[in-house]
Amino acid sequence: MTEFSPALLRAAALRSLGAKSPLQDVLNRLGFVQADPIRAPARAQDLTLMQRVKGYRAGDLERLYPQLDAEEDMIPNYGFVPRHVQALLHPREVGPTRIEREHPEILDEVRALLEGRPEVHPKELTALLGRGRVSNAWGGQSSASTRALDTLHYRGEARVTRREKGMRLYARAPHLQTLRDHPLPETERLSRTIHLLAALYGPLPEASLGYLTSLSRFGFPHLHTQLRAAFRQAVREELHSARVDGVRYVWPAGWTLPDAPTPRGVRLVGPFDPLVWDRRRFAHLHGWTYRFEAYTPAPKRTLGYYALPVFQAEKAVGWANLRVEKGELLAEVQLISGVRRTAAFEKALNAELERYRAFLAPVQGS
C-alpha cells in the first residue's frame, strides 16, 4: 500500500477506539447507531457504544433512552439518531404499504388509539384490534396491528417512547408533525445527510459512499433521485479525497487526518460498528475479507455465527466469537496468517475480555 494508508487506518480507528465520551455526546457525534436484534454476545447498538462510552453496560441505551435526545429511525438502516438528525429525514412521503392494502382501515384505528393514550404497547393494541400475523422486517412474524404501528412510525406519525424487554412502545410524535408543517429545505436535508454518512463511516471509498447513498433511499423514499444528485455534487465539490492504490477515498472537508498514534491494546469490535461496516474498505486496508455470517448456513461459515473483528492498535488481525454459558464468558479467537499470539497480545486480549465481562454483566442469564 501507499504511504497514505496508515493515515487512513489511524483516522478510522481513532473514531472508534479513541478517547471515550458521555453517551449523549457520542450519539450527537456519530449521528446514527445501527440496531440489530441479534445478541451474540450483545446487540449491535451496545457493541458499538461500548467502544466509545466510558463504563458502558449492555442495555444502557435502552434503559436511558427516555431521558436521551434520541429517536429510533432509519438512515441508512434502522437504528438510533439524535433529533437534529431525525429532522433531516422528515417529512417522509411513503406510498401505500402492504398492511394498508390487506387491512385498509387499520391505520386509522391505530391513529385513534394513539391519540387517546400517552403510550401504547403492541400487545395492548393486538388485544384491542386483533388481526392476523404478517411478516416483519426481521424475517419473523408480527401481528397486523404491530405492523401498522411500525408503518406509522416510519411515516413519522408515531415515535418509539421506550423498550420493554426489547419490545418497542409507541406514542404520537408531535415534533415530527412540526417538521411536516415546517420542513428543512430539501437541499439542506440531502447535503447534510451525505456529509453525515461521510463522517460516520469515513474515510471510505467513494464507491462505498455511493452505496450508502443508495441504501439511504429507505430514509428518503421519495427523494432518491435528488439524494444521488447531492452525492455527486458533494464528491465533486465539497468532500476531500485521495487515491490509495487506485481506490479513491473521501471524507468531510475540515477533517485533518490524525498524526496521533492509535490507542494501544486489543479491541473486539461489533460487525455493525462504523469501523468495520464497509467490507470494501476493510478488505482494502486490512488485507483480508471479513464476513458477517449470522444468516449463512452453519456448514458454509468460515468465521462463525457472529464473529467480532479483533483489532490490535489500528490493524484488524483476526476475529473472535463470544458466548456466555452458565454465567461465564467464553471466547474463541482466531488470528490471520502471519500474526503471532505474543505474550503482549495475550495480555491485551485478556484485558479486553475482562472489559467485555463487565459490559455483559447486566444481561448474563437473561
pLDDT in tens, 100-155: 888 888 899 999 999 989 999 988 888 877 655 444 443 443 578 888 999 999 99
Query: Helix or strand or coil: residue 54?
Result: coil
Q: Between 180 and 10, name the one with better pLDDT.
A: 180
pLDDT value of position 142: 56
How far is C-alpha 139 from the chain's CA centre?
A: 18
Mean per-residue pLDDT for 221-228?
Answer: 91
Query: Helix or strand or coil: residue 127?
Result: helix
Does domain 98-180 correspond to CATH entry 3.30.1050?
no
pLDDT value of position 181: 93
**Residue 294 vs residues 136, 306, 321, 326: alpha-carbon distances, Å:** 18, 6, 11, 22
Whether residue 73 is predicted with pLDDT greater than 60 in this model: the reply is yes
- Contact between 304 and 285 (Cβ < 8 Å): no
Domain boundaries, the chain: 98-180, 266-363
Indicate the average pLDDT of the chain: 90
* Listed residue (329, 304, 330) closest to 319, CA to CA: 304
pLDDT band at 1 (very low <50, low <70, confident <90, very high): very low
The amino acid that residue 53 corresponds to is: V
**Tens digit of each residue's pLDDT (9 = 90 or more) over 14-65:** 777 877 899 999 999 999 999 999 999 999 999 999 999 999 999 999 999 9
pLDDT band at 362 (very low <50, low <70, confident <90, very high): low
Length of the chain: 366
**Tens digit of each residue's pLDDT (9 = 90 or more) over 253-281:** 988 766 666 778 999 999 999 999 999 99
| Cα 209 from Cα 241, distance rounded (Å) | 12
pLDDT value of position 284: 93
- Which cell numbers in the block locate residue 241? 479525497
Q: What are the residues facing 169 on neighbouring strands?
A: 162
- Contact between 270 and 306 (Cβ < 8 Å): no
Query: Helix or strand or coil: residue 117?
Result: coil
